[in-house]
Amino acid sequence: MATKPVKLLGFWDSPYVNRVQFALNLKSIDHEFIEENILSKSELLLRSNPVQKKIPVLIHGDEPICESLNIVQYIDEVWTDGPSILPSHPRDRAMSRFWAAYIDEKWLPLLWEVYEAKEEDSRTTLLEKVREGLVLLEAAFVKCSKGKAFFGGDSIGYLDIALGGCLGWLKGIEKLASVKLLDETKTPALLGWAETFCSNEAAKNVVPEPEKLNKCLKEFQAQAAAATK
């Protein structure tokens, strides 16, 4: 089963797509990356994910797998030769999934709201909420890592991938708003983790550069606005 060809439908700046790229790199899985146009979705994407019509989609052989963390779990279960992504202990797996759900449902949406905020007061309030979330994730890192380099211990794991996918956007906001969201005072462990994660072979050519990300976002917003006129 693991020998079937692998394709990934996505866009380079998507945190959800980046997660899948991390997992593929960790497992050293050869794959074809097919870049999508978000404003003009391909027939392949619409056929592969007819319910949500979203990236990422992993196509393994002829079978499409959707949703970033669902794909990460699939990769871990199918390609068992590489390093394990999900923790081996049920309690640790449950904790990783809990915090991954927190990131997707509570924290990551705040980043989108910061980018979309038009008023300075609104952006300031949102940035404080982002910081509060990072303090919670700092505590989670200390507990999960048990003094090691990653949430997953000695190597990148499920929760590293979940949060690591957001680092490009987090750095983009820091650059855009001229603020530091990860700092040595409130989130020293998470700051060190982010540096270690981004320098890892699985991530260093995947995490988007903040300048490129912000430029691309402005272009996308302009194109989206023009399309609605």
Strands, E assignment, the chain: 6-10, 32-35, 57-60, 63-66
- Both 66 and 102 in one domain: the answer is no
Confirm whether 124 is domain-assigned. yes
Characterize 106-131 residue by residue with b for buried, 16 or more Cβ atoms within 10 angstroms of its Cβ, and e for exposed: ebbebbeebbebeeeeebeebbeebb
The long-range contacts involving 139-146, CB below 8 angstroms and separated by at least 24 positions, are 140/95, 140/99, 141/189, 141/190, 141/193, 142/189, 143/95, 144/92, 144/95, 144/96, 144/99, 145/189, 145/193
Give the model's confidence band at 228: pLDDT under 50 very low, under 70 low, under 90 confident, else very high.
low
Confirm whether 49 is domain-assigned. yes
The residue among 14, 43, 78 that closes a domain is 78
Which comes out higher in pLDDT, residue 68 or 229? 68
Per-residue pLDDT tens for 2-59? 789 999 999 999 999 999 999 999 999 999 999 999 889 999 999 999 999 999 999 9
- Both 105 and 197 in one domain: the answer is yes
Per-residue pLDDT tens for 53-67? 999 999 999 999 999
